Amino acid sequence: MNAFVRKRVANAKDDILSGLTVALALVPEAVAFAFVAGVDPLVGLYAAFMIGLITAIFGGRPGMISGATGALAVVMVHLVAEGNAMGAEGENLGLYYLFATVILMGIIQMLAGVFKLGKFVRLIPHPVMMGFVNGLAIVIFLSQLGMFKEMVNGELTWMSGNKLWMMLGLVALTMGIMFGLPKITKKLPEALIAILVVSAIVILGNLDVATVGSFIREGGGEGLKGGLPTFQMDIFNKVPFTLETLRFIAPYAFILAAIGLIESLMTLNLIDELTETRGNANRECLAQGGANIVTGLFGGMGGCAMIGQSIINIKSGGRTRLSGIVAAVTLLAFILFASGLIEQVPIAALVGVMFMVVIGTFAWSSFRILRKIPLTDAFVLIAVSLITVFKDLAVAVIVGVIISALVFAWENAKRIRARKRMKEDGTKIYEIWGPLFFGSISAFNNKFDVKNDPEKVEIDFVESRVSDHSALEAIFNLVEKYQAAGKQVKLKHLSEDCKELLYKASPKFHEVIEEDVDDPRYHLAANPEKFTKSLSEYKL
């Protein structure tokens, strides 16, 4: 117990400092994503606070940071625009439809946790994971390029001249501090120190550069000033609870729920690898869902795990729930008490931090292994990266998994074999090797010559595994063909579950399937749990 407490106390400093760093990085991200979604900056900031706090306390991955994200914002912008069109000008009805959608999104995510769907993230192949990481790194990089624009005569244009050079210099300084400080000492959080140093240079030098405050005002906001989140009773007054409303928000809610869960669970896997620990995917689904329900009720735009901020937290030493709690509470404190100070932080410092996140996130090893892995895996890796950049994360992961699954099925379909031999009594034996499933039944059927086979045939499945209904149907049809030709067929070494299903399909299989087996390989394949138990009994 003492060791447990000492470990937590020893890491408390790193958790607190990393939480402060993350809170600073959350501000411009939350504001930017709110603008993308077409809502007030406070809606994004409240979402970052509430989702960050709830998932930090109840989530399945200590150290992972959640908040408003761009992947969700690009879907929300259409929802908000359509919702606004339904109401009178200036009524801002789209915002309340957004809140209702976020609540439904949270309910869907909680159901995913209740039914333990989070475990399916294990089915995501490694090339898909690498493609996801690379694509997301590119998306983060591209999102930061927008910070190199300025408002001129009411239009956003690229910076030029001294402003551009000043911006580039401060970004480079931030990155240089983050790169060099760990080589001197690892006791200080490099991201936080870099932000403080660059902010001090800008403030003391009275440099004319873009800051968090100017960024918000250029986007149409009035600053970070705000109070505590309040319960949005107008949701129930302005959004009619009708079937038409459900038809409108349900598709958006399902898309947002899917994107949020996929991004969160993939980020959870990535943090697992970085920290060499294991998170709880189903618990994360429940926490994300609950957080989005609360966020929707209290005026937030919803969100999910943020890979950039999560990596900042992990790299800065954040390991426990304390880091996420500190980040969320500090963000609220910024909104309530320190808005003036945060508005003075130069955008260049935050861009530099995010560029270092991009460098740390991108799987550079993918370039080295592209020529060493199977061509199909390389294709999946590149495809997922590109789809993540040009479409969205959910589509990229789904496409990657489908391609990988089809390739796996095709490769296994080619492994079905049939070794043929004759017994002394003239019985022909087919020894089947390889998995029998929907992809291999065509090759399986081609192994048999019903017309020219002798009167007695045995089909031995000791080295094969019957995997699905298509395989059972293929066996059933094959037996029908032999019996229609007036020939006797016997099936040997079928697994217990396969025999049970065939018996249910037709009583005739009691005569076709041989129950008495004397091959020890069959007992091992058919009852692996009994074999394991016997090993434990003998302490092998």
Report the pLDDT value the prediction gives residue 518, as an integer from 0 to 100: 56
Residue with tokens 């930061």, as numbered in its chain: 144
Burial letters 188-225, b for 16+ CB under 10 A, else e = ebbbbbbbbebbebbeeeeeebbbbbbbbeeeebeebe
| Domains defined for the chain, CATH in brackets | 13-404 (no CATH), 415-537 (3.30.750.24)
Question: Which of 391, 384, 305 has the alpha carbon at shortest distance from 133?
Answer: 384
For residue 344, which amino acid is it? Q
- The set of long-range contacts for 265-268, using a CB threshold of 8 Å and a minimum separation of 24, is 265/118, 265/121, 266/121, 266/124, 266/129, 266/132, 266/307, 266/393, 266/397, 267/61, 267/64, 267/305, 267/306, 267/307, 267/310, 268/60, 268/61, 268/64, 268/121, 268/305
Measured between alpha carbons, how far is residue 310 from residues 9, 243, 313, 475 in Å? 21, 39, 5, 51
Question: Cβ of 429: how many Cβ atoms within 10 Å?
Answer: 17
Task: Specify which of 29-43, 176-190, 443-457 reaches the highest per-range mean pLDDT.
Answer: 443-457
Report the pLDDT value the prediction gives residue 516, as an integer from 0 to 100: 60
pTM of the model: 0.72
| pLDDT at position 89 over 60 | yes
Name the β-bridge partners of 491.
459, 513
Q: Render pLDDT for 471-530 as a digit per residue (tens, 0 to 9).
A: 888 998 999 999 999 999 999 988 888 888 788 877 888 888 887 655 554 444 445 444
Question: Which of 43, 41, 42, 65 has the alpha carbon at shortest distance from 52?
Answer: 65
d(CA 440, CA 446): 10
Report the pLDDT value the prediction gives residue 47, as an integer from 0 to 100: 94
